[in-house]
């Protein structure tokens, strides 16, 4: 089906790239001479050379006719709220089936999914939740919204995930839950997480907001713990602007978070017997459900294309000292690359600071971010919460001081100075696009001694 132009989107869409690159993607990975670089690469753009890339990468999000048709149908029905329509319910059933979960509830965004998950597990004041320090702030905000303490577990710098070998060092009598984040489309070590949770009778909430369709020993992310949470924000690989979902195979938990997203209404009896739960209004709209349903028709195809390009880029980077893809745990048999995560070794680039490297890449037409460059456990809002009247009423001065004393993650501090993030959109095009990424990195490395002076 041909993709139609949406608003001011470029003419070359993701499906065009996938179609044109299809034949090449079916062949074994071969590294071209150009990809390996020349003996005397051209000057970087920052030093007066020509940019490696002059055209933008594929835009995101993108829409096809089916997305427009389903959205327009949801509009014409005039059943815009999920209380009156069935589109969001259809999406919930479909998403659960694709993941291999029994139940799914759509919510307004991924942060709300985390919030509702902790509510369903009765996590609240006085409790502690184990979280990683290298993640988006929503993971921690969800814990703080429950007036619980987010206890940070240091990072594994090789995988950029939570170091699950350090979980037990952080467990106390107040620990209620482990919240691993499957960062960038890869997965935390769920074997360790589940073993520790079972040993200490803890709940597990998988923050899979960045890892749709990632797999651990063949099981989809979000389905290994008690609850899995997803985000469909516009940058995600399954987007609807804003949106989220909670999945579980525990019907009792389903009852709780389904009621919570609907002002406490029981999902079976409504309000006929009063309100059985506390709740809020986190309902997913019918519009959001329609947009997501349309994309599910091509979601697997796009994931495969992205993964094949990621594998090709990884092969190219093997020949460039100083840049390496974040490793994956052995149990992670599928990474869907919401972010292509890399580590930067400044010494291998002649001492070129990371910010100068990213600036040079930007000038080459290939913007690369520095990842989570500020340690989350050191952000000012943490101390502001600890010093708030609410937290001082809930927690003793001695306990808050102990928390401050243990709130150190030395490996994560190093990781924050090494990380590089590259958008998933860079992996939606052709192999030539991928080769240009490696070409630009090679060019910058060759001239690092001069770039360091800029």
Residues 6+ apart with CB under 8 A from 61: 234, 239, 241
| Helix 65-76, helix 286-295: angle, nearest 10 | 160
Q: Which residues pair with 298 in a beta bridge?
A: none
State the pLDDT at residue 260. 92
Annotate 180-248 with DSSP letters as a single string: -B-GGG----HHHHHHHHHHHT-EEEEE-TT-TT-EETTEETTSSSSEEEEE--TTSSS--SS-EEEEE
State the pLDDT at residue 8. 37
Neighbours of 39 (CB within 10 A): 5
Residues 371-399 pLDDT 10s: 999 999 999 999 999 999 999 999 999 99
End-to-end CA distance of the chain: 49
Q: What angle do CA 363, 210, 222 make, to 5 degrees?
A: 165
State the pLDDT at residue 29. 42
Give the mean model confidence (pLDDT) for residues 24-43.
49
Most confident of 12-16, 34-38, 59-63: 59-63
Inter-CA distances, 338 with 104, 128, 210, 287, 307, Å = 22, 29, 6, 23, 10
Q: Could you tell me the pLDDT band of residue 25, with boundaries at 50, 70 and 90?
A: very low
State the pLDDT at residue 267. 81
Residues 418-442 pLDDT 10s: 999 999 999 999 999 999 999 999 9
Neighbours of 326 (CB within 10 A): 24
State the pLDDT at residue 383. 96
What are the backbone angles phi and psi of residue 16, rounded to the nearest 5°?
Answer: -60, -45
pLDDT surpasses 50 at 6: no
Give the mean model confidence (pLDDT) for residues 73-82.
90
Strand, coil or helix: 165 = helix
State the pLDDT at residue 91. 97
Q: What is the strand order of the sheet 332-334 is part of?
A: 219-220, 215-216, 332-334
State the pLDDT at residue 40. 63
Query: Whose CA is closest to 288, among 81, 44, 9, 35?
Result: 81
Residue with tokens 């939606």: 428
Give the mean model confidence (pLDDT) for residues 161-168.
98
Percentage with pLDDT > 70 across the chain: 91
Residue with tokens 């307004």: 108
State the pLDDT at residue 395. 98
Q: How far is CA 10 from the centre of its chain?
A: 26
Q: Could you tell me the pLDDT band of residue 269, with boundaries at 50, 70 and 90?
A: confident
> Is 412 in contact with 134 (CB distance < 8 Å)?
yes
- Domains of the chain, earliest start first: 14-61+298-372+416-451 (3.90.1150.10), 65-297 (3.40.640.10)
- For 359-418, strand residue ranges (E) read none
Give the mean model confidence (pLDDT) for residues 78-86.
90
Q: Could you tell me the pLDDT band of residue 270, with boundaries at 50, 70 and 90?
A: confident
């Amino acid at each position: 089906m041909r993709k139609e132009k949406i608003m001011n989107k470029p003419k070359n869409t993701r499906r065009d790239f996938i179609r044109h690159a299809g034949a090449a993607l079916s062949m074994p990975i071969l590294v071209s001479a150009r990809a390996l670089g020349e003996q005397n690469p051209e000057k970087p753009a920052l030093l007066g050379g020509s940019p490696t890339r002059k055209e933008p990468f594929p835009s995101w999000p993108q829409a096809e006719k089916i997305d427009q048709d389903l959205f327009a149908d949801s509009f014409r029905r005039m059943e815009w709220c999920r209380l009156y329509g069935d589109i969001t319910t259809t999406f919930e059933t479909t998403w659960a089936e694709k993941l291999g979960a029994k139940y799914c509830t759509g919510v307004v965004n991924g942060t709300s999914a985390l919030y509702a998950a902790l509510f369903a597990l009765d996590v609240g004041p006085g409790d502690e939740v184990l979280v990683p320090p290298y993640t988006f702030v929503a993971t921690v905000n969800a814990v703080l919204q429950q007036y619980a303490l987010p206890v940070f577990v240091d990072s594994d710098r090789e995988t950029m995930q939570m170091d699950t070998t350090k979980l037990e060092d952080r467990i106390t009598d107040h620990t209620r839950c482990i919240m691993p984040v499957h960062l960038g489309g890869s997965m935390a070590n769920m074997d360790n997480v589940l073993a520790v949770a079972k040993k200490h009778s803890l709940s597990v909430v998988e923050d899979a907001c960045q890892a749709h369709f990632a797999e651990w020993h063949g099981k989809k992310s979000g389905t290994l713990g008690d609850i899995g949470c997803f985000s469909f924000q516009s940058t995600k690989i399954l987007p609807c602007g804003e949106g989220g979902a909670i999945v579980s195979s525990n019907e009792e938990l389903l009852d709780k978070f389904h009621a919570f997203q609907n002002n406490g209404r029981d999902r079976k009896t409504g309000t006929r017997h009063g309100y059985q739960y506390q709740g809020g209004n986190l309902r997913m709209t019918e519009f959001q459900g329609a947009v997501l349903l349309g994309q599910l028709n091509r979601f697997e195809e796009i994931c495969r294309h992205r993964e094949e390009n990621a594998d090709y880029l990884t092969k190219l980077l093997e020949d460039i000292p100083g840049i390496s893809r974040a490793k994956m745990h052995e149990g992670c048999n599928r990474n869907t690359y919401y972010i292509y995560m890399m580590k930067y070794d400044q010494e291998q680039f002649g001492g070129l600071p990371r910010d100068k490297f990213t600036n040079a890449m930007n000038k080459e037409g290939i913007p690369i971010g520095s990842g989570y460059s500020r340690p989350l456990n050191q952000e000012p809002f943490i101390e502001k919460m600890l010093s708030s009247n609410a937290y001082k009423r809930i927690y003793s001065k001695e306990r808050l001081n102990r928390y401050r004393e243990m709130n150190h993650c030395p490996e994560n501090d190093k990781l924050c100075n090494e990380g590089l993030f590259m958008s998933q959109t860079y992996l939606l095009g052709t192999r030539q696009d991928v080769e240009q990424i490696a070409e630009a990195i090679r060019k910058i490395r060759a001239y690092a001694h001069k770039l360091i002076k800029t």
